[in-house]
Homo-oligomer: A and B are copies of this chain.
Amino acid sequence: MNYSNLISDKMLGVKASAIREIFKVAGQPDVISFAGGLPAPESFPVAAIKEICNKILDTEPVVALQYGISEGYAPLKKLVLERMQKKENIGSEHDDIIIVSGSQQGADLTAKVLLNEGDGVICEEPSFIGCLNTFRTYNATLYGVPMNEDGMDLNVLEDTLKKHPNVKLIYTIPTFQNPSGITSSLAVRQGILRLAQQYGVMILEDNPYGELRFSGEPVPTLKSLDTTGQVIYLGSFSKVFSPGLRLAYLILDKGIMEKFVVGKQATDVHTNVFSQMIAARYLEDYDIDSSIAKSRELYRHRCHLMLSCMDQYFPKSVTYTRPEGGIFIWATMPDGVDSGKLMLEAVERKVAFVPGNAFMTDVDAPSHCFRLNYSTMSDEKIEKGIEILGTLLSERL
């Protein structure tokens, strides 16, 4: 059967993520992969999760295995909201929380609730490929705003808002951004908020890495600065607990929450109850902050090792970000060098990374940038891989 006439317009244009193909190569055991974006498996609290599973299945098995409600498991909602109020000063009396099946679903629900086909979404350029693809599956028009060292270029942001009245949403990862590692300054955050208010658009603040700061001073979340209900805050358990359990949450104004609940219900009824209970028990009975502190130390060490190897082996014409947290470094080669071609050569030498074009609104335009991930590699592999990459770069530039 020929399905081509049956496929929706919005899905016709969406391609399988280029990263997926890279991962097939990067997953080979002899390849040193800086392509991924996974948390370090050492950070998973396996023993605690095992204790918790036994406790849940001994005491409340039916709650864990029966249908739940679309808003999420009530004790988890309460624990997360209290923690976020304390940590980030977010979640006022106007706000409520909904548990979702991972951050990607948070972006999907936001798109479902807000976007008609053709509506505009402003994103940082570069930005997280996964959420850009989510917006593409709603036939949204993406407008990229280039990133400076302190976040989105506010002049371009304002011009974009002025020029495109179809924009309904600004998508930002303000802290340790994927893929750039950049943290938006307080001034940029305030500027984004001001412009969102002025132009009447919403902001999706995607903050999966916010708790992984290993140097510098914290910057307030946009949500904590939001007085008008403009910000939809998206937090995640994937980088601080476990991504396999698919747990994230949206904190947003009660005035629009009902549509998110209805959307969630129509999408997958509710998030896995057993996993929600595991996370709730973990927050209640264990010390997540000390577990996160350990991850931070690990990532600090790996990031600094990678940066010092890059300082040593990379030609001076390659510049890169020096993140204060998170799991990504963004490298920029001289104009005109194609990181896609470089990646193919690197893979031949058994090193993988993700070329910059994957994170752009126009994925077909070559990019002279690339993303490096340091969260899961051993010291030895970081040193060896960066040396190989540095040699390749020196030969080509």
Chain A residues with CB under 8 Å of chain B are: 1-3, 5-11, 14-17, 20, 38-39, 41, 44, 46, 49-50, 53-54, 57-58, 61-68, 101-102, 104-105, 108, 112-117, 119, 130, 133-134, 136-137, 168, 200-202, 228-230, 238, 242-246, 253, 255-256, 258-259, 261-263, 265-275
Structural contact, B275 and A243, CB atoms closer than 8 A: no
Closest Cβ of chain B to A106, distance in Å, is: 9
Give A259's nearest chain B residue, CB to CB.
B11
CB nearest to A242 among chain B residues = B65
* CA gap between A290 and B317 in the complex, in Å: 67
A169 to chain B, nearest CB (A): 9
- The oligomer's copy count stands at 2
Please, which residues of chain B bring their CB within 8 A of the CB of A133?
A: 262, 265-266
Give the residue of B46, B57, B104, B261 whose beta carbon is less than 8 angstroms from that of A269.
B104
Chain B residues with CB under 8 Å of A1's CB are 228-230, 253, 255
Q: Check A108 against B7 for contact (C-beta < 8 Å).
A: no
**Given known A65-B245, A66-B244, A272-B246, contact A266–B50 (CB-CB < 8 A):** no
A5-B200, A114-B7 as given contacts; A130 in contact with B265, CB under 8 Å: yes
Contact A267–B108 (Cβ < 8 Å):
yes
Q: Which of B5, B53, B261, B271 contacts A246 (CB 8 A)?
A: B271
A8 touches B271 (CB 8 A): no
With a cutoff of 8 Å between Cβ atoms, the chain B residues found around residue A15 in the complex are 262
Which residue, of A130, A228, A243, has the highest number of chain B Cβ atoms within 10 A? Answer: A243
Kindly list chain B residues whose C-beta atoms are within 8 Å of the C-beta of A14: 262-263, 266
Most B-side CB within 10 Å, residue of A15, A50, A263, A265: A265
**Which 7 A/B pairs are nearest by Cβ-Cβ distance?**
A244-B273, A65-B242, A1-B229, A46-B61, A105-B268, A50-B57, A53-B53
Given A3-B256, A202-B6, also A243-B66 (CB < 8 A)? yes
Known contacts A14-B266, A41-B62, A266-B134; A272 and B244 CB within 8 A of each other: yes
* A44 & B16 in contact (Cβ 8 Å cutoff): no
Whether A263 lies near B137 (C-beta < 8 A) is yes
Q: B258 and A16: CB pair below 8 A?
A: yes
Q: Identify A62's interface contact among B44, B115, B258, CB under 8 A.
A: B44
* Pair B65/A49 contact, Cβ less than 8 Å: yes
Contacts of A230 in B (CB 8 A): 1
A112 touches B7 (CB 8 A): no
A-B contact pairs, 11 of them (CB 8 A): A1-B253, A8-B113, A9-B116, A11-B263, A16-B261, A41-B66, A65-B242, A65-B243, A65-B245, A66-B243, A246-B271
| Cβ–Cβ contact B50 & A54, under 8 A | yes
